[in-house]
Structure 1
Amino acid sequence: MICIFPGLVSSINEPYIINILAKCYKHGYEVCLLNDRLYTNRDNGRGVSFPKNKPFTFVDDYKKILEIIKDQYQGYTFYAIGHSFGANTLARYLGLYANENIFSAAVCVSNPWDFYLGQRYLSKTIDQFLLNSRKKILRQYKHIFKDQKPNYTNYDYDELLQTKNCRELDNKFTSKLLGYRTADEYYKNISSIHYIDQIKIPVLFIQSKDDPILSENTLPIDEVNNNKNLIMIVTNTGGHVGWFEGLFQPKRWYLKPTLEFIDYLEQLN
């Protein structure tokens, strides 16, 4: 079984999610799509809730879900594919829970790695896209974010809709909801770059030098090379979760090495 970790504000309707699901099915795998409880772009808000009296974390949320999946699918071998924000969360999970994660191998696509440093390189266009996408979710689930606000937070819902960039929104809202004092503290704590040396399973990282989310200078190439379990592919082009090939019917190239990597390790099991 392959567990898919989507990017920020993504959903099952995203083209790249549809593409990876189809590819996994074609290779004979059962697939599970994991959604975080905060910024996933669902069609409705059913099932979305937040703790009333204490913060939550994406990693611990996923850990609990994955333990349930493992219990329900006993005898399965589990793999993971993470995209963008989901790749970062996956890598952090693999490092934090190196001795108890459920996966035999994983692939991380377009991992941002270091959110604190990455803020310096994030283009204004991407920043506004992510901001507007998250505001859309805030409006869509107003009954949750405004009317069911956790007791441990003190954000002003209407003020959130007036924020001018992602950093401001994270400073006033995301960081508080997840138990951090500031956006900087939040960025530093969730960055997977701090857990590279702790990962104990085979992981393939696929990155592009022209990724608008981060600079190639922030790629932790030496750190990855120092962990014998990790491999990193760095291409000159590909953008962010892109890598299209073909002129008339373009397809995503990164799906090839992703499934080749998992297929090879599956044959060894």
Structure 2
Amino acid sequence: MQRLAMDLRMLSRELSLYLEHQVRVGFFGSGVGLSLILGFSVAYAFYYLSSIAKKPQLVTGGESFNRFLQDHCPVVTETYYPTVWCWESRGQTLLRPFITSKPPVQYRKCVVFNNRGVAGENLLTPRTYCCANTEDLETVIHHVHSLYPSAPFLAAGVSMGGMLLLNYLGKIGPKTPLKAAATFSVGWNTFACSESLEKPLNWLLFNYYLTTCLQSSVNKHRHMFVKQIDMDHVMKAKSIREFDKRFTSVMFGYRTIDDYYTDASPNRRLKSVGIPVLCLNSVDDVFSPSHAIPIETAKQNPNVALVLTSYGGHIGFLEGIWPRQSTYMDRVFKQFVQAMVEHGHELSSM
């Protein structure tokens, strides 16, 4: 509370100085107008600092990983200050692609895994991808490792990519050549994700648009699937669940959509992960509702750390007045990679 009071006094003083120099003569420059503006600003500042800006919840399965992160990746224990004018989940999710720029990162020996049929590539066989089938990712990981066997090898996955990565790690356990991994805004339980995205407002803002994107991605390869899938039926889907029922589950031979969604949910494999994994999620993420985050399962695996922010949306995590260059997610990833590369050996000795 002492820190909150100090922050509030400082913010109030800055607002007063700003208003004194910037507000024009008239109603808003009168004593009444100035008092109203200042009063509202102070009230909002109090609400923001007491209810919005919070330290993330750090859930680890072992004391060693917890201590390692606090020593070498302190950002996961620092207060996250969401953008003051855009902290709500949907706003963060929708605005990030438009207001953030690419971070100034110099890449060295860096590989991006693209799923089949995306990024402008044509399909050579009648098969696409899904977050339950990890064969392609496993092939890529072992290929890269064979090229650079002595390099510290880490992987990161965002949203569906994180689901794929966690399902791979859960299947292969400690046998992976990866030394560590990080995931961001993962959908832990596919059933819960689908249910949340089918709520009217979420369907309007996200579900329908993403469904049309999925339809577009497979329609350009339509000739490859006509013998095994009713593509006309697929193109009439109005939600991700309908698309998965008519296309994805059929493509990968699942008997029902429930069988596919069960296999695709990474929460059921988290206990088998055999390397250090940091998982950043926001509890207000409509793509991955908080009640589906496997907190109790994470506590049972010493290799797993969940970092849960109160706000941030889906791949949002905007911070600062005008978040152009960096987000909280970027800072977490940068510190975690640096910590694992430079100090990862300490985990085995803790």
Q: Calculate the TM-score normalised by the size of structure 1.
A: 0.81
How many residues are paired up? 240
Q: Does 1:198 align with 2:278?
A: no
Aligned to 1:33: 112
Distance apart, 1:85 and its partner CA: 0.5
The one-letter code matched in structure 2 to 1:257 is V
Once the two structures are TM-superposed, the CA of residue 34 in structure 1 deviates from its matched residue by: 0.5
**Greater helix percent: which structure?**
2
The verdict on how the C-alpha distance between 1:58 and 1:49 changes in structure 2, with shifts beyond 3 A counting, is: farther
For the 8 Å contact 1:37–1:49, the answer to whether it is kept is no
1:229-251 CA-to-partner distances (Å, cap 9, x unmatched) read 11111111111011011223433
Relative contact order (C-alpha < 8 Å, sep 6+): which is higher?
2
Instruction: Give the direction of change, closer, same or farther, for the CA distance of 1:51–1:162 in structure 2 (3 Å limit).
Output: closer
The 5 Å alignment of 1:1-269 reads 19=102, 22-23=104-105, 25=106, 29-37=108-116, 40=118, 42=119, 44-46=120-122, 48-50=123-125, 58-122=133-197, 123-124=202-203, 125-139=205-219, 141=220, 144=221, 146-149=222-225, 153=228, 155-250=229-324, 251-268=326-343, 269=345
Runs of at least 5 residues in structure 1 that lack an aligned partner in the other structure: 1-13
Higher strand share: 1
Q: Which runs of 5+ in 2 are unaligned?
A: 1-96, 346-350
What amino acid sits opposite 2:333 in the alignment?
T
Secondary structure in 2 aligned to 1:206?
A: strand
Counterpart Cα distance in 2 of 1:15 and 1:71: 38
Deviations 1:22-51 (Å, cap 9, x if unpaired)? 54x3xx64211101115x3x2x233x2335
The residue type paired with residue 160 of structure 1 is V
| Contact kept in structure 2, 1:126 and 1:212, CA below 8 Å | no
User: Is the 8 Å Cα contact of residues 94 and 101 (structure 1) preserved in structure 2?
Assistant: yes
Q: C-alpha offsets along residues 47-86 of structure 1, whole Å, 9 cap, x if unaligned?
A: x23357xx99630111112111111223211101110011
Secondary structure of the structure 2 residue equivalent to 1:107: strand
Q: Aligned partners of 2:226, 2:271: CA distance in 1, in Å?
A: 35
- Distance between the aligned counterparts of 1:30 and 1:253, measured in 2? 24
- Code of the aligned partner of 2:312: G
| Cα separation, partners in 2 of 1:56 and 1:254, compared to 1, 3 Å | closer
Distance 1:129 1:163 in 2: 11
**Secondary structure of 2:288 counterpart:** coil
* Contact 1:160/1:169 (8 A) holds in 2: yes
Deviation per residue, 1:193-221 (Å, 9 max, x gap)? 11111111111010001111021111111
Distance between the aligned counterparts of 2:300 and 2:260, measured in 1?
27
Larger radius of gyration: 2
AA aligned to 1:100 is K
| TM-score (norm. length: structure 2) | 0.63
Structure 1 vs Structure 2 CA RMSD: 2.5
- Structure 1 pair 16/167, CA: closer, same or farther in 2 (3 Å)? farther
Distance in 2 between the 1:118 and 1:147 partners? Answer: 31
